[in-house]
Chain A
Amino acid sequence: MSMVIDTHIHPALFAPICEDPARFHFRCDEMNYHLMSPVDLELLKKQLALADIRGVFLLGEDCSYDRGQSAISNEEIARLVELEPELFIGFASVDPRCPDAEETLRRAFTELKLAGLCLNTAKCRLYPYDERIFRLCEVCRDYKKPVVLHSGLCLERDAFSRYARPADFEELIAAFPQVNFCLTHVGWPWVQETAALLIKYPNAYANTALMNFDGPVQLYHKVFKEDMGEYWVEHNLADKLMFGSDSPRIRPVRAKRGLDALKLRPDVMEKLCRKNALRFLGREDQP
């Protein structure tokens, strides 16, 4: 198995952006991470290396319209990418409810050089067909940037799943065929809704990022061999699924162990672990 790309890490505990204790406390409270401390980048890199992870989607989080500040700002994501440009792929986050959301997103792409947009409609309490989200996706279309959409249950504080059901993203995905969309967590618990969108829309992807019941070995089997049909991943979704851990809720090496335990064909694992993520980013030509 060659290098792995983890498409789902929230860098909430990454030490370079945890220097302000009050801000760190606010972030952990917002994102529902407790009893944990900041971790140095060198230690994080060793943890990632255990699963041969050589690329990481760093997801920002902005719900500032009613929280007063973002949990992980675009500037913080950009700072981390600057520290490890070969490892980190930074995703901006913008609260669609903010009047200057589109301008903030343009700045994230042009000045901060971020690779895409990450939206959490469950947290912002916006339905996926809200016109403010469409306007942000127009910006992504113009700049040729992919969009990561939180889908399914969100374990963060004051976030509600009804705003993030996979099927409700269909109009958005259909309206922007030039934009690649990733439904996170396979839309759990609405796994079959996610699978339905994946087979219909060429620009629809999903990442694994599962962390809800049992250990990763049991959970990945439940979702990909029971909730989905035995052959769905290998025969139908091999080009549409991407590995993601959902760290820091689970360590990447453990999440990867769940995927490994599915014993998928090597060519399918290669797609899930790397090739699909590169295509999602528009970097298919990258080795």
Chain B
Amino acid sequence: MKTALERFTVIADAEFQLIRITDTVKAFAENCGILNGVAFVITLHTTTGITINESLPCVEKDIEEQLERLIPSDYPFNHNHYLPSYGTIGGNSPGHLKSLLTGNHCVLPLVDGALVLGNAADIYFCEYDGIKKRKYLVYVMGD
């Protein structure tokens, strides 16, 4: 079995943003020298997520608004307090909780050198605590 790993950087334009990374993931997975196996897309952060959904602006907006209804930004979270370990206020609990809902990764099959995605499926890097410089991994395992 062979493996291939690559790190990618992404920077959002807003505090909340669903960033389509399908083309980047496909380009790496389909050219890494592995023909059949699985590709993992993994974020390295605890206030971001990786998810798969349909790339329509209305769907993206519904996801954003539903997450905001579930986890209002101005709710008095336990995390909202001075953190001596950072010297800052813990103001990003909504990001942590939204990350919990989408998870930190997705997994896709790689078959005969092609990444298998449904017709309506796109891979998103989900920024919930922007704007920051973020990193995610694509890790491919197979032969």
Cβ contact within 8 Å between B87 and A249: yes
Q: B82 to A254, Cβ gap below 8 A?
A: no
A251 close to B (CB within 8 Å): yes
Q: Is B73 an interface residue (CB 8 A)?
A: yes
Q: Which residues of B contact A32 (CB under 8 A)?
A: 87
Nearest Cβ on chain A to B9's Cβ, whole angstroms: 11
Asked if B77 contacts A215 (CB within 8 A), the reply is yes
CB distance from A99 to the nearest CB of B (A): 32
> How close is B98's CB to chain A, nearest CB, in angstroms?
16
In the complex the two chains form, what is the Cα distance from A226 to B77 in whole Å? 20
Q: Which residues of A contact B132 (CB under 8 A)?
A: 43
Q: Is the CB of A213 within 8 A of B87?
A: no
Residues of A within 8 A of B27 (CB): none
Q: Which of B14, B82, B87 contacts A33 (CB 8 A)?
A: B87
Given known contacts A50-B14, A253-B15, is B89 in contact with A211 (CB within 8 Å)?
yes
Tally of B interface residues using CB under 8 Å:
20
8 Å CB interface, B41-99 against A: 73-74, 76-77, 80-82, 85-89, 91
Cβ-defined contact, A214 with B80, below 8 A: yes
> Nearest residue in A to B93 (C-beta to C-beta)?
A215
A34, A47, A217: the one within 8 Å of B87 (CB): A34
B117 at the interface (CB under 8 A from A): no
Q: Mark B1-32, 1 if CB is under 8 A from A, else 0.
A: 00000000001011100000000000000000
Q: Is the CB of A214 within 8 A of B131?
A: no
Chain A interface residue count, Cβ-Cβ cutoff 8 angstroms: 28
Tell me the bound Cα distance from A248 to B88 in angstroms.
Answer: 7
In Å, the complex CA distance between A214 and B79 comes to: 8
In the assembled complex, A107 has its CB within 8 A of some CB on chain B: no
With a cutoff of 8 Å between Cβ atoms, the chain B residues found around residue A35 in the complex are 85-86
Q: A31 contacts which chain B residues (CB < 8 A)? A: 87
Name the residue on B nearest A155 (C-beta). B87
A217 touches B88 (CB 8 A): no
CB nearest neighbor in B for A249 = B88
Bound together, the chains give a CA A60 to CA B19 distance in angstroms of 37
Using A46-B13, A47-B131, A218-B80 as known contacts, say yes or no to A257 and B89 having CB atoms under 8 A apart. Answer: no
Contact of A50 among B15, B73, B76, B82 (CB under 8 A): B15
Q: Are A33 and B88 closer than 8 Å at their CB atoms?
A: yes
The distance from the CB of B65 to the nearest CB of chain A, in whole angstroms, is: 17
A43 adjacent to B80 (CB under 8 Å): no
Is A36 an interface residue when CB atoms closer than 8 A count as contact?
A: yes
Q: Report Cα–Cα, A110/B89, bound state, in Å.
A: 37
B82: nearest chain-A partner, CB-CB: A212
**Complex formed: what's the CA distance from A251 to B95 in Å?**
14
In the complex the two chains form, what is the Cα distance from A34 to B88 in whole Å? 9
What are the residues of chain B within 8 A of A217 when measuring CB–CB? 74
Listed by A's residue number, 14 A-B pairs whose Cβ atoms lie within 8 Å are A33-B88, A34-B87, A43-B11, A43-B133, A50-B15, A155-B87, A214-B76, A214-B80, A215-B74, A215-B77, A215-B80, A217-B74, A248-B88, A257-B74
User: Residues on A close to B: CB < 8 A?
Assistant: 31-36, 40, 43, 46-47, 50, 155, 211-218, 248-251, 253-254, 257, 261
